[in-house]
Amino acid sequence: MAWRDDWRRVRTIAWKDLTTERRSKAGFNGVVALGVTILVLFGFALGPDAQAIRAAAAGALWLAVLFAGVLAFNRSYQVELETGALEQLLLYPGSRWTIFSGKLLANLTFVGLMLVIVVLVGIVLFQVRVPAAWPSLVGVLALGAVGLVALGTFYAAMASRSRAREVLLPLLLFPMLVPVLLAAMEASKALLGGDLMHEAGAWMKMLCAYDVIFLMATHLAFEQVIEA
């Protein structure tokens, strides 16, 4: 069955990426440390006004995840490029999208773990009260992470062929991420504020739509960007 072969390849690539990342440790520790540092710096920049800090918490959280995520996306292809493993990966028979899906799955796990830590630190640092509708907040975090990781994994593949990939990735990624970030920030902000205007649902629907579009578009276009 072709789909079983494809799913096996996706799982194999995700396992490989997560195993190498778990063993090298430097990657995850570095990414989490950067995320937390950005949150702390936002805290300093906003000053002692508790109201202002809480109002900016959602934005600060997503920006911290974005900047730290860029490091993670770059690393996911750096491992392939260091010893020429990307060429071997491209030589295995099967659809190219399985490579993308495997990396996306690994990056999603990676960013998800980072998100948990950054959110917990953010709650303490910004004195945020966990809302009653916390399952919806978890949903927003998950939807936002999917959009971020789909585009991040895709543009990291595109930038990986360039010597200036560390610079190129944010330049390509940030403009494309504006709708996802905007929707995620607004939905998070609404939920943290008790969602008095019942606007979180609309932002979440928009996030869902962006995720579907970006997941489909990146899977379809991956073969074009990874081929030399």
Partner 1 sequence: MGFRMADTPSEELAIDAHGVARRFGARWVLRGVTLQIRPGEIVGLLGANGSGKSTLLRIFATLLRPNAGEARVFGHDLRRGADEIRSRVGFLAHTPGLYDDLTARENLAFAAAMLGLDTGGVDAVLERVGLAAVATDRVRGFSAGMQRRLSLARLLLTRKRLLLLDEPYANLDAEGIALMNGVLTDSVRAGGGALVVLHELAPAAGVLDRTVTIKDGRLAEPLGGTARAAPRVAAGVH
Among 29, 50, 52, 92, binds partner 1 (CB under 8 A): 92
Q: Which residues of 193-227 are buried (b: 16+ CB within 10 A; e: fewer)?
A: bebeeeebeebbebbeebbeebbeebbeebeebbe
Instruction: Give the binding range for partner 1 (CB under 8 A) out of 14-22, 32-40, 50-58, 134-142.
Output: 14-22
Distance between CA atoms of residues 162 and 170, nearest Å:
13
The four Cα atoms 212, 191, 179, 66 give a dihedral, to 10 degrees, of -100
Instruction: Give the binding range for partner 1 (CB under 8 A) out of 13-21, 47-55, 158-166, 169-177.
Output: 13-21
Q: Does 5 bind partner 1 (CB under 8 A)?
A: yes
Within positions 152 to 191, which residues make up the interface with partner 1, using CB under 8 A?
A: none
Name the minimum Å distance from CB 208 to partner 1.
Answer: 32
Cβ neighbourhood burial of 109 (10 Å; 0-12, 13-18, 19+): middle
Q: Does 79 bind partner 1 (CB under 8 A)?
A: yes
Name the minimum Å distance from CB 132 to partner 1.
Answer: 43
Among 41, 52, 90, 213, binds partner 1 (CB under 8 A): 90
Integer angstrom CA distances of residue 161 from 44, 49, 78, 92, 224: 38, 45, 10, 19, 12
Instruction: Give the binding range for partner 1 (CB under 8 A) out of 7-15, 35-43, 54-62, 151-159.
Output: 7-15
Q: Does 47 bind partner 1 (CB under 8 A)?
A: no
Among 45, 85, 120, 138, binds partner 1 (CB under 8 A): 85
Half-sphere exposure (Cβ direction) of 67: Cα atoms closer than 13 Å: 17
Distance between CA atoms of residues 198 and 204, nearest Å:
11
Among 1, 48, 51, 83, binds partner 1 (CB under 8 A): 83
Within positions 193 to 222, which residues make up the interface with partner 1, using CB under 8 A?
A: none
CB 173 within 8 Å of CB 151: yes
Instruction: Give the binding range for partner 1 (CB under 8 A) out of 4-12, 65-73, 118-126, 188-196.
Output: 4-12
Q: Does 93 bind partner 1 (CB under 8 A)?
A: yes
Q: Does 91 bind partner 1 (CB under 8 A)?
A: yes
Integer angstrom CA distances of residue 34 from 5, 56, 80, 173: 37, 19, 23, 18
Q: Which residues of the shown chain bind partner 1 in the complex (CB under 8 A)?
A: 5, 8-9, 12-13, 16, 19-20, 23-24, 79, 82-85, 87-94, 227-228
